[in-house]
């Protein structure tokens, strides 16, 4: 017999509330000001929900470490389940690390300079141990002038580009980068900048190659961004990436700003120069809210920050209900300096290549409709 | 048995690894897949940051775990050979 709606709703509340609180505390585990974890093992239903959420949010390592440290008491079955999931996540990360090493060696041999971004670099540089952070792909930054060569080298090595370039020369001048899938199905995200659209077009990209932090992976020395740019990149990813950011992306923001000393003034000066203080403010606010952290000087600054007109309009392209790649790209016009460059940008969008249109929009008619909607959404309320 | 108790082994320079409650996951350079070392094998992996003969390694672990060295050597010899075969360990000069 089915439970009555009233009963099932009460049962759902009995699971959802404790599961949400535990998930949030686990995502903040080990940070100063994190919420306390339950002091007794979770009920089976609550555990199931927490485990499912941790899998989706890529916080399995934090759950495993909380259980291993006895920060979260667990039953023997729960310990077995989370230990196995942590092992599987780490096996995957090692395979991705090897792909990062192979890719950086391949590009290095072609004379292409790279910077390791996000996953592996963050796991090795920003967490107490790399086993605290799981990730799902490989992210590399290359210079604008070497982007085409990098993509060509990866394709020559057997990779496949998921979405063709919008117009020849667009990527190296205006684009975020390209996604290449290797024959073994590992995804390599080759970045030129941190985001598509306006906030990706105002970054001083040369800074990302001059200020670096080295780290050792296997028997190679790789280069990552310096700490302040890693923090800013974490903010771009959390604030402008998925419409609902993963908890692990929000944890990165908090981890970089709380767990180790961050030159906050340097980071915010850099954000101001990139016209992206609102990106930092949004990322920090989302992080503190989602992880339930105690207020800090940074979170208070974020809560009181007022974006200027450019930032407010640009943010809408990433955060409104109408957010899309088309909206972000259309909003990018405002961030491009000079009429000639603006014209080149718009021309590339209007006369997009057939392969790109087929992959991204499904046809020219749909693309025109989508572009018109994007322009209207970007303009926003007058 | 291919293991020689007199030869010295050490972790291969390019080997990738992670540690947790599950033990140690090791990914050697090349095409091999990840291998999980559990039980007392993580202690063995940590010891092999420095070159060790199999005998010295067995004596060290025997002391740590309070077991007779010849029994430890019999247990670890196949593990060491397998890790050497997949490229996670190399012979130290």
pLDDT tens digits for range A137-159: 999 999 999 999 999 999 999 99
SS3 content of chain B, % helix, strand, coil (to 5): 40, 25, 40
pLDDT value of residue A1: 47
pLDDT tens-digit map of A307-341: 999 999 999 888 877 767 777 777 777 778 888 87
pLDDT at residue B92 greater than cutoff 60: yes
Instruction: Quickly list H helices, chain A.
Output: 5-27, 44-57, 60-68, 76-109, 118-125, 147-156, 170-174, 198-201, 207-210, 227-240, 247-254, 264-273, 277-291, 297-304, 309-319, 325-331, 339-350, 354-360, 364-379
Is B16 close to A90, i.e. CB distance below 8 A? no
Spatial distance between the Cα atoms of A106 and A152, rounded to a whole number of angstroms: 11
**List of chain A residues whose C-beta atoms are within 8 Å of the C-beta of residue B14:** 101, 218-220
**List of chain B residues whose C-beta atoms are within 8 Å of the C-beta of residue A65:** 20
- How many C-beta atoms lie closer than 10 Å to residue A242's C-beta? 9
User: Nearest 5°: phi and psi at A32?
Assistant: -65, 135
Is B34 close to A94, i.e. CB distance below 8 A? yes
- What residues does each domain of chain A span? 3-379
Q: Which of A87, A88, A120 to mutate to test the interface with B (most CBs of B within 10 A)?
A: A87
Give ipTM to 2 decimals: 0.91
Structure tokens that stand for A262 in this block = 């961050």
- A195, A187 Cβ separation under 8 angstroms: no
A99 vs A166: which has the higher pLDDT: A99
Q: Which of B13, B27, B29 sits opposite A95 (nearest CB)?
A: B27
The residue-averaged pLDDT of A105-129 equals 96
Spatial distance between the Cα atoms of A46 and A14, rounded to a whole number of angstroms: 8
Domains of chain B: 8-86 (1.10.10.1150)
**Most confidently modeled of A259-268, A370-379, B12-21?**
B12-21
Secondary structure class of A104 (helix, strand, coil): helix
Q: With respect to CATH, is domain A3-379 assigned 3.40.50.300?
A: no
């Amino acid at each position: 017999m089915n439970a009555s709606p009233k009963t099932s709703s009460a049962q759902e509340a009995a699971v959802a509330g404790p599961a949400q609180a535990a998930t949030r505390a686990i995502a903040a585990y080990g940070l100063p000001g994190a919420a306390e974890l339950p002091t007794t093992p979770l009920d089976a239903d609550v555990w199931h929900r927490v485990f499912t959420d941790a899998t989706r949010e890529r916080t399995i390592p934090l759950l495993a470490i909380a259980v291993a440290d006895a920060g979260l008491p667990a039953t023997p079955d729960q310990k077995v389940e989370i230990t196995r999931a942590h092992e599987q996540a780490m096996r995957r990360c090692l395979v991705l690390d090897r792909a990062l090493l192979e890719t950086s060696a391949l590009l290095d041999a072609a004379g292409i300079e790279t910077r390791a971004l996000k996953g592996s670099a963050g796991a090795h540089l920003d967490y107490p141990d790399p086993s605290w952070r799981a990730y799902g792909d490989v992210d590399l930054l290359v210079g604008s002038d070497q982007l085409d060569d990098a993509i060509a080298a990866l394709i020559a090595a057997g990779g496949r580009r998921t979405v063709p370039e919008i117009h020849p020369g667009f990527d190296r001048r205006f684009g975020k980068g390209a996604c290449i899938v290797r024959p073994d199905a590992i995804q390599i995200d080759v970045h030129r900048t941190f985001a598509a659209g306006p906030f990706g077009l105002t970054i001083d990209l040369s800074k990302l190659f001059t200020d670096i932090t080295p780290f050792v992976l296997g028997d190679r020395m790789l280069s990552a961004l310096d700490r302040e740019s890693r923090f800013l990149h974490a903010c771009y990813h959390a604030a402008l990436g998925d419409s609902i950011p993963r908890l692990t992306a929000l944890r990165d923001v908090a981890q970089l700003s709380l767990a180790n000393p961050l030159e906050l003034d340097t980071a915010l000066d850099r954000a101001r120069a990139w016209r992206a203080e609102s990106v930092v403010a949004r990322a920090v606010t989302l992080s503190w809210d989602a992880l339930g952290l105690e207020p800090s000087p940074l979170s208070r600054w974020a809560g009181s920050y007022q974006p200027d007109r450019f930032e407010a309009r640009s943010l809408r392209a990433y955060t409104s209900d109408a957010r899309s790649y088309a909206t972000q790209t259309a909003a990018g016009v405002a961030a491009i300096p000079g009429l000639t460059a603006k014209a080149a940008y718009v021309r590339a969008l209007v006369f997009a290549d057939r392969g790109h249109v087929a992959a991204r929009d499904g046809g020219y008619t749909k693309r025109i409709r989508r572009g018109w909607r994007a322009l209207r959404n970007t303009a926003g309320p007058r | 048995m291919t293991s020689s108790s007199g030869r010295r082994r050490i972790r291969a320079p390019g080997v990738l690894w992670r540690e947790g409650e599950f033990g140690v996951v090791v990914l050697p350079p090349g095409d091999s897949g990840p291998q999980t070392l559990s039980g007392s094998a993580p202690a063995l992996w940590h010891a092999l940051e420095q070159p060790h003969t199999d005998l010295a390694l067995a004596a060290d672990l025997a002391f740590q775990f309070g077991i007779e060295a010849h029994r430890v050597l019999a247990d670890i010899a196949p593990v060491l050979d397998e890790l050497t075969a997949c490229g996670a360990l190399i012979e130290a000069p």
